[in-house]
């Protein structure tokens, strides 16, 4: 049995002809089309000498093809390394030097600046991928066969490295395994009751845990669909909201929407779930959202090193200002910073987490 996350996802899709992802300008991919393109890309990556555990660093704009590139990396056994599109060349140099990727994929307009930088740090190949799918990555993949057996991996093999500055010092690469990502996505699908009937309104960036793992992996494992927006845009949210059943967002999404005159119970009546994370949601925002829409936002908590840890209940009271309970299979305790012993109720302390979601460790 392979523990490759791509294999786990593919095996759960009963109808590959269904739409997986649709953009606000009408571009779309079925699951089958996504599988085929991911196979072509995986072949292209492998042709560069890529083997299990090699890093593929990616700094590209949000697009369906970028998501399919992520799937291709899983399929090929590579460690996917997404990088914030706002990073400067100096910042990129740090990440490339630290992670030592075999391949770097960047926006076409950044190739001339990034390619020599990457070459100085031993990168074998730098390719490009644009927001509309243009670039050398898909050009090279066009003639490849749309068949590629997912590489056999162990549960502990790396699926991704995400850099985080959540602890002290410079950003460190959190190593996330196929088992980490699969277990957390399965838990969220069940806990939040996702199904193939769901359509997620996706307006998040895809270079961090929220937009890439929480949103995308949950949709994939549930055989659901995504309405894929390039960014948070109020006019696009209004347009696409009526075709969605779930929205995931950061608190500022909700505060900005609350200022819109068109936001009311009528436009949100069909929605099943609104989720918030990545930063604390003010209790007042939670209450105002309920007053305006009739929905209680579900707030959850996680971090790059663990994905999601806690969540307010799907069925049950969602308490404003609270991140809820530990998710099934995850143990959480609050301990004293000095003694390491558990603290009493309502006493601040250090969060300790144990579960299959907890990362393998830091890259360096």
Determine how many CB atoms are found less than 10 A away from the CB of residue 242: 12
Closest Cα partner for 319 from 299, 290, 289?
A: 299
Do the Cβ atoms of 251 and 276 come closer than 8 Å?
yes
Burial class (CB in 10 A: 0-12, 13-18, 19+), 332: middle
CATH of domain 5-180: 3.40.50.12780
Q: What angle do CA 172, 336, 277 make, to 5 degrees?
A: 50
Phi, psi of 220, rounded to the nearest 5 degrees: -65, -45
Among 124, 150, 162, residue whose Cα is nearest residue 302: 162
Give yes or no for residue 1 having a pLDDT over 80.
no
Residue 163 forms beta bridges with which residues?
A: 173
Q: Say if residue 169's pLDDT is above 80.
A: no
pLDDT grade for 166, boundaries at 50, 70 and 90: low
Instruction: For residue 63, give the 3-state DSSP assignment.
Output: coil
Whole-prediction pTM: 0.96
Domain 185-326 classification at class level = alpha beta
Closest by CA to 353, choosing from 166, 207, 190, 193, is 166
Q: Which 3 state secondary structure label does DSSP give 28?
A: strand
Q: What is the average pLDDT across 151-173?
A: 89
Query: Judging by DSSP bridges, how do beta strands 273-276 and 298-303 pair with one another?
Result: parallel
Band of the pLDDT at 2, cuts 50, 70, 90?
confident
Q: Please give the pLDDT value at position 146.
A: 94
Dihedral sign for Cα atoms in the order 72, 74, 76, 80: positive
Phi, psi of 92, deg, nearest 5: -60, -40
pLDDT for residue 33 is more than 90? yes
Q: Which residues of 154-177 are buried (b: 16+ CB within 10 A; e: fewer)?
A: eeebbbbbbbbeeeeeeebbbbbb
Strand 28-30 and strand 103-106: the pairing is unpaired
Instruction: Quote the mean pLDDT of the chain.
Output: 96
**Which residues have a Cβ under 8 Å from the Cβ of 355 and sit 6 or more positions away?**
183, 306, 309, 327, 329, 330, 331
At residue 364 the predicted structure's pLDDT band, cuts being 50, 70 and 90, is confident
What is the CB neighbour count within 10 angstroms for residue 95? Answer: 22
Confidence of residue 334 (pLDDT cuts 50, 70, 90): very high
H-helix or E-strand containing 119? helix 111-120
Report pLDDT for 167.
Answer: 58
Q: How confident is the model at residue 285 (pLDDT cuts 50, 70, 90)?
A: very high
Instruction: Judge whether 158 and 185 are in contact, CB under 8 Å.
Output: no
Whether 5-180 shares its CATH topology with 185-326 is answered yes
Question: What is the tens place of the pLDDT at every residue in 199-257?
Answer: 999 999 999 999 999 999 999 999 999 999 999 999 999 999 999 999 999 999 999 99
Q: Is 317 helix (H, G, I), strand (E, B) or coil?
A: coil
Indicate if the pLDDT at residue 168 is higher than 80: no
For the chain, give the percent of residues with pLDDT over 70. 99
| Residue spans per domain, the chain | 5-180, 185-326
How many Å separate Cα 129 from the centre of its chain? 18
* Over residues 323-352, mean pLDDT: 94
Question: What's the token pair of residue 335?
Answer: 């301990």
List the one residue out of 72, 146, 139 whose CA is nearest residue 108: 139
């Amino acid at each position: 049995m392979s523990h490759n996350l791509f294999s786990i996802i593919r095996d759960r899709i009963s109808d590959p002809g269904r739409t997986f992802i649709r953009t606000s300008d009408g571009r779309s991919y079925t699951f089958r089309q996504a599988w085929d393109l991911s196979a072509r890309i995986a072949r292209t990556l492998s042709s560069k000498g890529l083997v299990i555990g090699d890093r593929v660093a990616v700094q590209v704009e949000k697009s369906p093809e970028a998501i399919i590139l992520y799937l291709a990396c899983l399929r090929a056994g590579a460690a996917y390394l997404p990088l914030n599109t706002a990073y400067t060349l100096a910042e990129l140099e740090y990440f490339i030097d630290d992670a030592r990727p075999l391949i770097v994929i960047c926006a076409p307009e950044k190739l001339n600046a990034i390619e020599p930088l990457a070459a100085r740090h031993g990168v074998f190949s730098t390719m490009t991928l644009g927001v509309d799918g243009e670039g050398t990555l898909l050009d090279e993949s066009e003639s490849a066969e749309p068949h590629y057996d997912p590489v056999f991996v162990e549960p502990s093999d790396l699926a991704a490295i995400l850099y985080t500055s959540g602890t002290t010092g410079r950003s460190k690469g959190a190593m996330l395994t196929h088992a980490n990502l699969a277990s957390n996505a399965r838990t969220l699908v069940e806990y939040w009751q996702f199904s193939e009937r769901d359509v997620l309104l996706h307006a998040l960036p895809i270079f961090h845990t929220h937009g890439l793992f929480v949103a995308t992996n949950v949709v994939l494992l549930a055989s659901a669909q995504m309405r894929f927006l390039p960014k948070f845009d109020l006019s696009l949210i209004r347009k696409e909201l009526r075709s969605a059943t779930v929205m995931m967002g950061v608190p500022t999404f909700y505060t900005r929407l609350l200022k819109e005159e068109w936001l009311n119970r009528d436009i949100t009546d069909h929605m099943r779930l609104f989720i918030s994370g990545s930063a604390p949601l003010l209790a007042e925002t939670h209450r105002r959202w309920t007053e305006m829409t009739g929905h209680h936002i579900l707030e959850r908590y996680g971090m790059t090193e663990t994905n999601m840890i806690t969540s307010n209940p799907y069925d049950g009271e969602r308490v404003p200002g609270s991140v809820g309970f530990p998710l099934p299979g995850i143990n959480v305790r609050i301990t004293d910073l000095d003694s390491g012993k558990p603290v009493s109720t309502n006493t601040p302390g250090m969060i300790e987490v144990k579960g299959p979601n907890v990362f393998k460790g830091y890259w360096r």
